[in-house]
Structure 1
Amino acid sequence: MWLFRKKQTLAESGFFRGFVDWHSHILPGVDDGVETLEEALQILAAYEQFGVKDVWLTPHIMEDIPNTTARLRERFAELQAAYPGNITLHLAAENMLDNLFEERLAKNDLLPMGDNGDHLLIETSYFNPPMGLQNILMRIKTKGYYPILAHPERYVYMEEAEYHRLKAMGVKFQLNLPSLAKMYTADAGKKAGWLLKNGLYDFVGSDLHRLTIWEEKVFSKQIPENTLRMLRDIPATHSPE
């Protein structure tokens, strides 16, 4: 996909000045992401140097990682108290569409995102959709939330027709930047390129779990200007100045 002749790294491009990271695992000690408060502060300091403006902390909530709303809010308060910088931190969650999610949705025990608190970041298994996926999405909408599908390019079972069907239902899509850097699989990179070129993404996130991996495979990745333009055209990429 990256065939444009003039290239620069994402870090050099200035793309991260004013950037809003809509998906990260920087909240420490709650899932498979950042483990310590010190590591979280180190990442946020690096983000400041690049000019990142807002970060949504979206820890996993799933049957295998049954985080409670109370616990995540407590950990978030600890990070806010320890962080001296100027990045605006927000708490939400990445919700696996499993039985635990169904229970939490019924109780309205959720951590939504967005300016109005009416969006939910969701995910499924990479290999198989949950039974009745479209019905689950409709129940989310009935509760007054807009579903944001995290990293749609990574789902092996999804093809072009499925993406268009979900968009027609009002599902929004969140791109993982590492997908463009081919950090996952060649298929995920190819799908990310197609989704980006067709204007199907609404949000961009890092899905950052470890800073060292990101520095090596994302910040330093060369990117052509046409891809950069398409990224900047995604509506919620940057905060208003």
Structure 2
Amino acid sequence: MWPFRKRIPLKDSGIFEGFTDWHSHILPGVDDGVQTIEEALEILRLYEELGVKSVWLTPHVMEDTPNTTAHLRERFAELQAAYSGPITLHLAAENMLDNLFEERLGKNDLLPLGENGDHLLVETSYFSPPMGLNNILLRIKAKGYYPVLAHPERYVYMGESDYQQLKDMSVKFQFNLFSFAGTYGPEASKRAVWMLKNGFYDWAGSDIHSFSNLKRTINKIQISESKLQMLQSLLASHFI
């Protein structure tokens, strides 16, 4: 495949064919992502052209964006009513590990990820972990959920030993699809490549926040054959 080209346009690489996007901010008007149903539909139409199979809508839930489960389900129903295409839509959430999360975990008031409803997509500050991070993750597991850490390559306080420690705790890792292309800076790109090479990731998501960003990114990014092969291997091993 692509015998005379060292780098392949991402949009032509075929990785979106049958792709499940495990992390997106397409649900309109609920966080810093898409703001209108019209924009959400634009993204979904572009995803159809690329061959995307299903999308998990994972809006932020945090103290600064205290979305309730009822409100998110209401907005999700509105989007489902407006969208009649072939992509399967699912609702979950990206949970900041803050005091609000602790409260909602105690009440089991959560929107889990995955067909079996037993995974929780979580995040922390990019610059420092919450106090007692490991204990929080253990409490998540005690509640019967697998913690899934969103975009671990973006956390500047984490290094290789931290990733290994979390992996040993059965924490799952979600790769931001555009990280290795430098979208979040060179250090995040380096960490993403290292994690891909060493098999740390469990599956991938776009973390897309707008139509313009998605369109610009997929048209701009070119990927090396070696990175494409690593990514294809990851996408082929989805376990949820």
Fold-level match, TM-score > 0.5?
yes
- Please give the secondary structure, in 1, of the residue aligned with 2:223: strand
Q: Deviations over 1:101-122 (max 9, x none)?
A: 0000000000001121000000
User: For the structure 1 residues 238 and 225, does the alpha-carbon distance in structure 2 shift closer, same or farther, using more than 3 Å as the test?
Assistant: farther
Please list, as runs of the form range in 1=range in 2, the aligned pairs for 1:223-234 lying within 5 A after superposition: 223-234=223-234
- Please give the secondary structure, in 1, of the residue aligned with 2:207: coil
RMSD over aligned Cα atoms: 1.7
* Residue equivalent to 1:132: 132
Q: What is the TM-score when the length of structure 1 is the normalising length?
A: 0.95
Indicate if the aligned counterparts of 2:34 and 2:209 stay in contact, CA closer than 8 A: yes
* Residue equivalent to 2:16: 16
Indicate if the aligned counterparts of 1:127 and 1:157 stay in contact, CA closer than 8 A: yes
Distance across 1 between alignment mates of 2:144 and 2:158: 25
Distance across 2 between alignment mates of 1:59 and 1:223: 28
Q: Tell me, which stretches of 5 or more residues in structure 1 are unaligned?
A: none
* Residue equivalent to 1:166: 166
- Please give the secondary structure, in 2, of the residue aligned with 1:233: helix
Indicate if the aligned counterparts of 1:22 and 1:56 stay in contact, CA closer than 8 A: yes
Matched, 1:77 2:68: no
* Residue equivalent to 2:95: 95
Indicate if the aligned counterparts of 2:17 and 2:50 stay in contact, CA closer than 8 A: yes
* Residue equivalent to 2:204: 204
Indicate if the aligned counterparts of 2:202 and 2:238 stay in contact, CA closer than 8 A: no
- Please give the secondary structure, in 2, of the residue aligned with 1:175: strand
Q: More displaced, 167-176 or 178-187?
A: 178-187
User: For the structure 1 residues 133 and 238, does the alpha-carbon distance in structure 2 shift closer, same or farther, using more than 3 Å as the test?
Assistant: closer
* Residue equivalent to 2:110: 110
Indicate if the aligned counterparts of 1:20 and 1:239 stay in contact, CA closer than 8 A: no
Q: What is the TM-score when the length of structure 2 is the normalising length?
A: 0.95
Distance across 2 between alignment mates of 1:15 and 1:235: 8
Shift of 1:224: 1.3
Distance across 2 between alignment mates of 1:151 and 1:55: 17
* Residue equivalent to 2:30: 30
Shift of 1:141: 0.2
Shift of 1:52: 0.3
Distance across 2 between alignment mates of 1:117 and 1:78: 22
Which one-letter code corresponds to 2:69 in the other structure? Answer: T
Which one-letter code corresponds to 2:230 in the other structure? Answer: M
User: For the structure 1 residues 14 and 146, does the alpha-carbon distance in structure 2 shift closer, same or farther, using more than 3 Å as the test?
Assistant: same
Q: Tell me, which stretches of 5 or more residues in structure 2 are unaligned?
A: none
Shift of 1:195: 0.5
Indicate if the aligned counterparts of 1:231 and 1:237 stay in contact, CA closer than 8 A: no
Which one-letter code corresponds to 2:68 in the other structure? Answer: T
Q: What percentage of aligned pairs have identical amino acids?
A: 68
Q: Deviations over 1:155-196 (max 9, x none)?
A: 000010000000000000001012111111111111001101
Shift of 1:238: 6.6
Indicate if the aligned counterparts of 1:204 and 1:237 stay in contact, CA closer than 8 A: no
Distance across 1 between alignment mates of 2:62 and 2:111: 13
